[in-house]
Amino acid sequence: MASKKINMINKEGIAVSLYKALKSFGVALPVLLGVILLLGLFKIYITPELLSSVFTGNLLRDTILGSVIGSISVGNPITSYIIGEELLKEGVSLFAVTAFIVAWVTVGLVQLPAEISILGKRFALTRNILSFIFTILVAIATVVTLRVVT
Amino acid sequence: MKVNQKGQKKERNKNLYYSFSFFVIVFILYLVLAIFDLEKISMSLNASFYILIQISPILVVVILLMGVVNYLIKPKSVSKYLGIESGAKGWFLAIFMGILSHGPIYIWYPLLKDLRDHGMRAGLIAVFLYNRAIKIPLLPVMIFYFGLGFVIILFIYMMIASIVEGKIIEIIEHK
């Protein structure tokens, strides 16, 4: 009798927990769908050719540009590696390409509305601004260390 | 208690309003762009649908994980392992969880919000999100394109950057 009661409580507890999870996810669902629709737009409108055409050859400017472009780009990280390699072949510096591939995965301008809505404006903005700055610092530190080591 | 519930409901309604507004804005953007180039918009919709199909299994996992967090993990244990009292263990756990997590970044936001409501530190959320950039299954591909030395150095700097970022966020959040 007692174990039956415990079972009932557990089942009820699980159902309530799942309901809470679904409810919490439901609130975030429209903004997530919006982000997915934006990702679709970016995939079609922002092509790799368009991305490589903006680099100028200036080391610092290109590193910042790499970071900016990586921040607004979206998709699987493998895509950023492939584009990164193409950029290197076209003579873009490793600083810029590193900034580009790091920003691709650490800064998310397209996902920012979802992050603001779910995790809060202050947190989301601070995190993305800091990640953007760190992208440039990490790129410089990585390439300089690599050159010193090799 | 009642006041707390009322506050939570108000916050949820506000989030829902913001969430819907964003969706409507994107929908309007699609309509406007469709006037200029219907074919590209149709391709964008296809791309979006493909993304949705791709992430669906991970969405289910995230919802189930949220259920598990609600059911099994109590605020006391979250604050022990990921809260203020977690110390260095918490930072390493957040790095580890970030590296192991799969799928796009945005589907993890609701679970992180739940964990934060249970007591997870803001800095550790930032560390988790930053370290999602380090993906073990993608390592061979990255090494193929950029070399082993580059990848090792990059990942070390990224982990350091994630901790510094988390610390700065905590300082700002506590102001």
Annotate B53-91 with DSSP letters as a single string. Answer: HHHHHHHHHHHHHHHHHHHT--HHHHHHHTSGGGHHHHH
**Running DSSP on this structure, what letter comes out for residue A90?**
T
Residues of chain A contacting residue B105, judged by C-beta atoms under 8 Å apart? 105, 108, 111
- Cα angle A53-A60-A46, degrees, rounded to a multiple of 5: 30
Distance CA B48, CA A94 (A): 31
A-chain residue closest to B18, CA distance? A117
Residue B43: what residue type?
M
- Is B2 within the bounds of a domain? no
- Is B18 within the bounds of a domain? no
Distance CA B34, CA B47 (A): 15
Residue whose C-alpha is closest to residue A87's, from A48, A140, A135, A61: A48
Does the distance separating the beta carbons of B18 and A142 come in below 8 Å? no
Residue B107: what residue type?
I
- Residues of the domain holding B170: 58-174
Q: Give φ, ψ of B121 to 5 degrees.
A: -70, 145
B-chain residue closest to A34, CA distance? B23
- Is B41 within the bounds of a domain? no
pLDDT at A103 over 80: yes
Total domains present in chain B: 1
- Is B81 within the bounds of a domain? yes
- Is B29 within the bounds of a domain? no
In contact, B123 and B170? CB cutoff 8 Å:
yes
- Is B136 within the bounds of a domain? yes
A-chain residue closest to B117, CA distance? A119
Q: Which of A44, A113, A127 sits opposite B44 (nearest CB)?
A: A44
Residues of chain B contacting residue A82, judged by C-beta atoms under 8 Å apart? 145
Distance CA A52, CA A50 (A): 6
Which range among A128-132, B16-20, B137-141 has the greatest average pLDDT?
Answer: A128-132
Q: What ipTM did this prediction achieve?
A: 0.77
- Is B25 within the bounds of a domain? no
Does the distance separating the beta carbons of B129 and A81 come in below 8 Å? no
Min mean pLDDT across A71-75, B3-7, B115-119 is at: B3-7
In contact, B128 and B56? CB cutoff 8 Å:
no
Q: Which of A14, A33, A122 sits opposite B71 (nearest CB)?
A: A14
Distance CA A70, CA A52 (A): 12
- The model's pLDDT over B136-173, given as tens digits with 9 standing for 90+, comes to 877 888 898 899 999 999 999 999 999 999 999 999 98
pTM of structure:
0.77
Residues of chain B contacting residue A137, judged by C-beta atoms under 8 Å apart? 161
What's the confidence (pLDDT) of residue B7?
64
Residues of chain B contacting residue A27, judged by C-beta atoms under 8 Å apart? 12, 15-16, 19, 110
- Is B145 within the bounds of a domain? yes
